[in-house]
Amino acid sequence: MDEVEYDSPIGLLRLEADQQGLTAVRFPKPKATRSSIARPSKSKNRHLKSAVKELKSYFANGSNPLRTPLSPQGTNFQKSVWIELSKISSGSTTTYGEIADRIGNPKASRAVGLANNRNLLPIFLPCHRVIGKSGKLVGYAGDIWRKEWLLKHEGALL
């Protein structure tokens, strides 16, 4: 497992990858030690280099598709939710209930929320684009302010 840190407009991101693809994008706590983590320019992992390049472009203009190979780890249900997340286009939102409908399990909106919470690849699997039925911004492991920032950056919120 390789990892790098990337300073983004929404704070420090710790990116992790194996040989198959990107495995995690984490929001480390502000007091997290940074000395043992490679900087993006020092990484030899091609997936990390790709992810950093794509994140730079995404944060510059908000709508670039992120195509770095991903290597998510989870249950079959979680993976089915994450596949649906990958289909939500930049600048748009959907609800937990709509995702549940799309995966053929219309009563599973809470389980969809839990799968979103377990998504270790935020931004790349854009769980920030999933909102509550009322239109309220709810549930984001990276803090609601980041969800709001990302949605505004993509033009989904004014």
Residues labelled as active-site residues:
127
Contacts of 78 (CB under 8 A, 6+ apart): 72, 115, 118, 119
Dihedral sign of CA atoms 22, 27, 29, 30 in order: positive
Contact indicator for 114, 77 with CB cutoff of 8 Å: no
d(Cα 148, Cα 140) in Å, to the nearest integer?
Answer: 10
